[in-house]
Amino acid sequence: MEKQGDTRMDKLTDLLKEANLAYYMGEPFMSDREFDKLAKIANYTEVGTMGGRIEHLFPMYSLQKVFENEHTEKNPLAKYSGKTIWTPKLDGAAVSLTYCRGDFIRGVTRGDGKKGLDITENIKNIIPLEYDFNKVHQCITTPRPYSQITGEVVAPKSIKNSRNYAAGALNLKDSDEFKERDLTFVVYGIQPANELTWSEEMKNLNTAGFNTIIDSEWHEFPTDGMVCRIDNQIDFDEMGYTSHHPKAAYALKRIQKGVETTLVDVIWNVGKSGVVAPVGILEPVDIDGANVSKATLHNMAYINSLNLEIGCKVEVIRSGEIIPRIVRRVY
């Protein structure tokens, strides 16, 4: 007979695995400190504790999101008169690569945008380990001797749960197993900026052997909207940043289409901070290849705003998210 304590630890271990995957995918839902404390309780020793996290050379910001139905009114670059570039927003696992004078040094997952996990041994199997530094960064001033190249590790959309497949592969301890995965690294950014435009540097990186987001439309990989950015790198940096995103780029997102199911029950969980929060128990439903039976309800104000009742039909979304949520009552 299974002991109740063992069952609780199994649930905690599952939560830590979910948190670790979310961290790799750049969508952490708990802090480093919370993760480490829970990891000690569960004796969880997988990669992902605070000691294994490395600071990015430059922060990996998120993108401001604008949905298709509000683009005309909320376009952040509507007043910019210079050249802008549109590219697909690939849906994989974001990483940064550090090079010194064109030689690969290390690879790090996006994590929380400031620190990520060391994936050097795995990522080096699908990227150029060196490139002609002077040729790529040809500019008037002498370029700095280092660079951070950012991009997305993606798997073909023919693979079920391709985003999780890519993110999970980065966490593999066996590099030989990683090599067997059908994965591609696609560049979408490089820092520090210089006199070259973004599109010029992407073309140079492509010539140097990198896959870049402007090489192709990448139809074989999953996408999550489009990205619009300013091409002039100097203008890009001068527009500045918020604590969350650059002001010179944004993601144009498709209107999320949810899946209908039934709200079976509501349970109350005590969070790590002691806050009691409601969780909706759902009639199991498949969303983006994942079997979903629970969804966050945030608080009573959120429940009341949607007029939710036990037994009502609800719309649930999970697109680009780890934790499903109810967005409206259907009837």
Last residue of a domain, one of 253, 282, 317: 253
pLDDT at residue 48 in the model: 44
Residue 252 has pLDDT above 90, yes or no: yes
Same domain, 82 and 196: yes
What is the H or E stretch that residue 42 is in?
helix 32-42
Same domain, 174 and 25: no
- At 35-58, the pLDDT tens digits run 776 777 667 666 443 336 788 989
Instruction: Report helix, strand or coil for 90.
Output: strand
Same domain, 240 and 303: no
CB atoms within 10 A of CB 26: 20
- Region 274-284: mean pLDDT is 87
- At 61-102, the pLDDT tens digits run 999 999 888 888 889 999 999 999 999 999 999 999 999 888
Same domain, 160 and 234: yes
Residue 6 has pLDDT above 80, yes or no: no
Q: Where residue 226 falls among pLDDT bands split at 50, 70, 90?
A: very high
Estimate the crossing angle of helix 32-42 against helix 4-24, to 10 degrees. 150
Which range has the worst mean pLDDT, 68-82, 217-231, 271-285? 271-285
Same domain, 111 and 238: yes
Same domain, 42 and 191: no
Please, what is the end-to-end C-alpha distance for the chain in angstroms?
A: 43
Same domain, 130 and 217: yes
DSSP state of 246: B
- Region 241-253: mean pLDDT is 93
What's the domain range around 266? Answer: 259-329
Last residue of a domain, one of 17, 35, 51: 51
Same domain, 226 and 200: yes
27 vs 82, residue with greater confidence: 82
251 touches 63 (CB < 8 A): yes
Same domain, 234 and 85: yes
Beta-sheet strands, E only, within 198-258: 211-212, 223-230, 249-253
Residue 240 has pLDDT above 50, yes or no: yes
Same domain, 80 and 196: yes
Find where tokens 């683009």 sit.
Answer: 71
| Residues known to be catalytic | 89
Average pLDDT, the chain: 84
Instruction: Report helix, strand or coil for 141.
Output: coil
Write down the pTM of the prediction: 0.70
Identify the CATH number of the domain in which residue 100 sits. Answer: 3.30.470.30
pLDDT at residue 211 in the model: 95
Looking at the structure of the chain, the number of domains it has is 3
Same domain, 201 and 300: no
Same domain, 62 and 47: no
Identify the CATH number of the domain in which residue 317 sits. Answer: 2.40.50.140
DSSP for 155-184, written as a single string = --TTSTTHHHHHHHHHT-S-HHHHHHS--E
